[in-house]
Chains A and B, each alone.
Chain A
Amino acid sequence: MLKIAFFITIITIFVFVDLIPALRRRNIRYAAAFLAFSCLALSICILTELGVKIPSPAKPIKTAVDALLRR
Chain B
Amino acid sequence: MFRKRKRRTSIKPYRAGRFAGYRQGSPGAGGPEAGAPEAGGPEAGSPETGSPGTGSLTRSLEDNIALFRNIFQQDDTLTLRELDVPGFGKACLVMIDGMTDSDVVNDNIIQPVLMSGRVPVREPEDVGQPKVGEQLKAGGQPEVRGQLEVGGQLAVGGPPEGSRLPEDFKEGRAAWFQKCIIAAKAVSRSSDVSSLCQAVIDGDTVWLLENEPEGLIIDSKGWKTRAIDEPKTETVVMGPREGFNESLIMNLTLIRRRIKTPNLKFEFMLIGRRSRTRVCICYLKEIAKESNLRELRNRLEKIDIDGILSSSYLRELIMDSPYTPFDLTGTTERPDIVSANLLEGRLAVLVDGSPCAMMVPFLFVEYFQANDDYYTNFYFGSLNRILRILGFLFTISIPGLYLSLVTFHHEMVPSSLLMSIYAARQGLPFPTVIELIVMLLLFEILRESGTRLPAFMGQALSIVGALVIGQAAVEARLVSAPTVIVSATAGITELVIPRIKFPSIMIRVLLLLMSSLLGLYGFLFGLIGLLLHLVELRSFGVPYLQGIMSFKKQDLKDTVFRGPWWTMRTRPRNIAREGEWVRQQKGSGGTGK
For the complex, give the distance between the alpha carbons of A16 and B4 in Å. Answer: 11
On chain B, the residues within 8 Å of A16 by CB distance are 2
Q: How far is the CA of A20 from the CA of B3 in the complex (A)?
A: 10
Q: Which residue of A lies closest to B4 (CB)?
A: A24
Using Cβ atoms and an 8 Å threshold, which residues of chain A touch B4? 24
| Majority secondary structure, A binding face | helix
* Contact mask for chain A residues 8-43; partner B; CB cutoff 8 A; 1 contact, 0 none: 000000001000100010000000000000000000
| Distance of A5 Cα from B4 Cα, bound (Å) | 28
The docked-state distance in angstroms from the alpha carbon of A24 to that of B4 is 9
Cα distance A20–B2 in the bound complex, in angstroms = 8
Q: Which residue of B lies closest to A16 (CB)?
A: B2
Chain B residues with Cβ below 8 Å from A20 are 2
Q: How far is the CB of B525 from chain A (nearest CB, A)?
A: 14
Tell me the bound Cα distance from A16 to B2 in angstroms. Answer: 9
Interface string of B1-38 (1 = CB under 8 A from A): 01010000000000000000000000000000000000
Size class of the contact patch on chain A: under 10
The CA of A15 and the CA of B4, in the complex, are separated in Å by 15
The docked-state distance in angstroms from the alpha carbon of A16 to that of B1 is 12
The smallest beta-carbon distance between A18 and chain B, in angstroms, is 13
The distance in angstroms between the C-alpha atoms of A24 and B2, with both chains bound, is: 9
B1 and chain A: residue at smallest CB distance: A20
Q: Which A residues are in CB contact (< 8 Å) with B2?
A: 16, 20, 24
A24's nearest neighbour on chain B, judged by CB, is B4
A58 to chain B, nearest CB (A): 26
Residues of B within 8 A of A24 (CB): 2, 4
- Among residues of A, the one whose C-beta sits closest to the C-beta of B2 is A20
Q: Which residues of chain B from 353 to 377 have a CB within 8 Å of any chain A CB? A: none
- In the complex, what's the smallest C-beta–C-beta distance from B212 to chain A, in angstroms? 59
Chain B, range 135-171, C-beta contacts under 8 Å to A: none
CB distance from B322 to the nearest CB of A (A): 16
Whole-angstrom distance between the alpha carbons of A20 and B5 in the complex? 13
Q: Which residue of B lies closest to A23 (CB)?
A: B2
C-alpha gap A23/B2 in the complex (Å): 11
A20 to B4, CA, bound (A): 10
B102 to chain A, nearest CB (A): 59
Nearest CB in chain B: distance from A48 CB, A? 22
Tell me how far the C-beta of A21 lies from the nearest C-beta in chain B, rounded to whole angstroms: 8
How far apart sit A24 and B5, CA to CA, in the bound complex (Å)?
12
Least distance between B583 CB and chain A CB atoms (Å): 44
Q: What's the nearest-Cβ distance from chain A to residue B3, in Å? A: 9
A20 to chain B, nearest CB (A): 5
Residue of B whose beta carbon sits closest to that of A21 = B4
Cβ of A5 to closest chain B Cβ, rounded Å: 15
Shortest Cβ distance from B10 into chain A, in angstroms? 16
CB proximity of A17 to chain B, nearest CB, Å:
12
Question: Nearest Cβ in chain A — how far from B166, in angstroms?
Answer: 67
Using a CB-CB cutoff of 8 Å, which residues 46-69 of chain A contact chain B? none
Chain B nearest CB: distance from A13 CB in Å?
14
What's the nearest-Cβ distance from chain B to residue A9, in Å? 13
Tell me the bound Cα distance from A20 to B1 in angstroms.
11
Q: How far is the CB of A26 from chain B (nearest CB, A)?
A: 13
One digit per residue, 1 when the CB lies within 8 angstroms of any chain A CB and 0 when it does not, for chain B 440-479 equals 0000000000000000000000000000000000000000
B321 vs chain A, min Cβ distance (A): 15
Interfacial residues of chain B within 427-451, with CB under 8 A of chain A in the complex? none
- A68 CA / B2 CA spacing, docked (Å): 56
Q: Which 4 pairs from chain A and chain B are nearest by CB?
A: A20-B2, A24-B4, A24-B2, A16-B2
4 contacting pairs across A/B (C-beta < 8 A): A16-B2, A20-B2, A24-B2, A24-B4
B residues touching A (Cβ–Cβ < 8 Å)?
2, 4
